[in-house]
Amino acid sequence: MTTGPDAAGGFSLEPGPDLREMRDWVHRFAADAIRPAGAEWDEREETPWPILEDAAKIGLYSLDFFSSQWLEPSGLGIPIAFEELFWGDAGIALSLVGSTLAAVAVASNGTPEQIGEWLPEMFGGPGDVKLGAFCASEPEAGSDVGAIRTRAEYREASDEWILNGTKSWATNGGIADVHVVVASVDPSLGARGQASFVIPPGTPGLSQGQKFRKHGVRASHTAEVVLDGVRVPGRCLVGGQERLEATLGRVRSGGRSGEQAAMKTFEASRPSVAAMAVGVGRAAVEFARDYATQRVAFGRPIGQNQAIGFMLADMQAAVDAARLLTWRAAWMARQGMALEGAEGSMSKLVASETAVRVTEQAIQILGGNGYTRDFPVERWHRDAKIFTIFEGTSEIQRMIIGRAVTGLDVR
């Protein structure tokens, strides 16, 4: 993975100067604006609009920033940026990056016209901040995306699609300006009969259902999205009608459909989710390290005790290993390499479970203090758990990795 211009022997793990400058810029915002506000917005359980606005003013919350990092040649732009944001606070950071999953869904599968029209509407700008939401999960279809029941029916006479169903666990669901919804267009084909649709702002029939009160990442809005006779023009079918008909035709004749809409979006985003978990884990390690060097018990810093020192050693090694797996997957994806070894799933599995483990260990190092809301490690531990669940549970990641390792249909 060559990221620096002067990599000895053509190989370097040091990000180049542009990435380092970006990393430091994002870190300053995370340190100055995000981390100090983490506890407040966790308690309020509301979208932190003032911080989104501040990020928009400096160009951090913007289509230009996220797209430039997504297209950064080494593939490390998004992982590095996300690690710094989630080092600050996971709930606020998820509000800042929540629109990117919807943007990826359109950017990965949409036509140039759709990309140009809808991606700017997911971010807006200073004074007019906007949000996007990707809606795939349902009350009875989480990891099993093949069980999606939301239906989209095409009316040729009026060239429009009519959507009905309920989506669940949607980040920014119901409050977003643009929703991207995965629906079944041919239930007889299961997951291979699905497509994605853009629901423009203000479309009648789309409403917010239940807002979820969560264990962690509470500054990020998560809710049901109800679709009741939602009508959208034919141009809102992501990828277009011709492409959908060609795909369905291949499936019906016994051919391959290619990657299904929701899975393609999740696969592209897994290293990014891993980077989020790395950021939370790193925050916990650094906080516990600093505490262990300052907290004195029995006449010496507790970090001098092997029980603490060894724990910190394992925590640091685990976070660094998770980052390297994340960078490998992101670099491979950016170079157009097939992730045949399930490298994306591997990065998410290791990073997410590392974040849960090291945040728990940080609480242990802080003792009673770590169990109180006066110290952030309690919140970070609550936040970390979501990474083992959303965008593919740890069990799903192990199934994918198991198939890659054995070549067998592990179920």
Find the catalytic residue in 72, 267, 378, 391. 391
Give the closest residue to 209 by CA, choosing from 175, 232, 241, 257. 175
User: Which parts of 29-116 are beta strand (E)?
Assistant: none
Long-range CB pairs of 334-339 (<8 Å, 24+ gap) are 334/72, 334/73, 334/74, 334/75, 335/75, 339/267
Helix (H, G, I), strand (E, B) or coil at 363: helix
H or E segment at 64?
helix 63-70
Buried b (16+ CB within 10 A) or exposed e, 363-391: bebbeeebeeeebbbbbbbbbbbbbbbbb
Q: Which residue has the tokens 């679709």?
A: 227
Which two tokens mark 78?
A: 């998004």
Q: Left, alpha or beta for 276 (phi > 0: left; psi -120 to 50: alpha)?
A: alpha
HSE-CB of 369 using CA atoms within 13 angstroms:
10
C-alpha to C-alpha distances, 182 to 185, 194, 236, nearest whole angstrom: 10, 7, 12
What are the E-state strand segments in 145-221? Answer: 151-155, 160-171, 178-184, 194-199, 206-211
Asked about 391 being catalytic, the answer comes back as: yes
Q: Name residues whose C-beta falls within 8 Å of residue 93's C-beta, 6 or more positions apart in sequence.
A: 30, 34, 82, 85, 86, 276, 279
Question: Contact, 113 vs 161, CB < 8 A?
Answer: no
CA distance 366 to 45: 26
Catalytic residue IDs = 391
